[in-house]
Structure 1
């Protein structure tokens, strides 16, 4: 009988993560940006509750912020030194200066608001990609919680909840 091992063999579960170097190696196998993914994983692990979950909302001051926005805000300072941010500021200045003479302080405020909006938009995308890489590596689980019930798929007023695996929690706790 003809046997195709790639169709009938079950995929091997990922090896346990005994320490931080093994975790870094696993991330580097699935991610194009392993350092960024490791930063995201570390932030999630440090902010997660006793059950290892973070989300759907994180308390910030007296407000509740979606977990993806919180992560994006936490990592936004990384964009301040990026040369692409300087180019984005010049692009926004040029876009907003078209036919609008006026107060320079107000114009600079509008430029900064638009730049922050663009950084947050691209940051949310970067967070989603990093989380997808971490899920693919078997280091993080993601589900969506919201309007009616917990659900594996997003949409319908649902927000992400991230859960760090016990192996990752123990590997990260040994590094502190």
Structure 2
């Protein structure tokens, strides 16, 4: 599978080693960029777009949060995570917010770690996506509460679209039914 050709919408054929070489040239962290690209391809629809929301555990979460959560296991053995856990536990204990029950304390510490990891993970994902956009493998826009909009903020969420030869990463998957109605579409 590593040498399977990838055919994009620009009729350019690119095999996996060539894609990895392209990422190595255009990204400061090519392995991370490849993981982000692969995850986006996994949740993309047949038109190559992913987001603004992804179904997870019976609910919907923003695409960037889903990407951060999906990439979190990669840092579980990182010594910085252990240091972060110790710092959060000691900060909560000094402030008196840490419960006496060990199970509740562990849950509180894990929630605080998840929040901090997700915040820094969003920065890492955005940086990787920017590199993928510069490489011509992704397009990005922001979709908002009322209308599509190119600016961020005001309840607008990122939408990533596989571009060029990266469209070949979609494969022959079937279109998943839409979980969220389009704007001005009523659900009965």
Structure 2 length-normalised TM: 0.77
Which one of 35, 40, 44 corresponds to residue 44 of structure 1?
Answer: 40
2:100 matched residue in structure 1: 103
The structural deviation recorded for 1:43 is 0.8
Asked if the contact 2:52/2:157 (under 8 Å) is kept, the reply is yes
Alignment partners' CA distance in 2, 1:102 and 1:123:
28
2:80 matched residue in structure 1: 84
* Segments ≥4 residues shifted beyond 2 Å: 99-102, 106-109, 171-174
1:139 matched residue in structure 2: 137
Secondary structure at the aligned position of 1:81 is classed as coil
The structural deviation recorded for 1:102 is 5.0
Unaligned runs of 5+ in 2: 1-11, 173-188
Pair 1:168 & 2:163 matched: no
Asked if the contact 1:20/1:172 (under 8 Å) is kept, the reply is no
Q: 1:105-124 residue pairs with structure 2 within 5 A?
A: 105=102, 106-124=104-122
Alignment partners' CA distance in 2, 1:102 and 1:66:
31
Unaligned runs of 5+ in 1: 1-15
The structural deviation recorded for 1:152 is 2.1
Asked if the contact 1:58/1:65 (under 8 Å) is kept, the reply is yes
Asked if the contact 2:142/2:156 (under 8 Å) is kept, the reply is yes
* Higher Cα Rg, which structure: 1
Secondary structure at the aligned position of 2:71 is classed as helix
Asked if the contact 1:42/1:172 (under 8 Å) is kept, the reply is no
Q: CA RMSD in A?
A: 1.9
Structure 1 length-normalised TM: 0.82
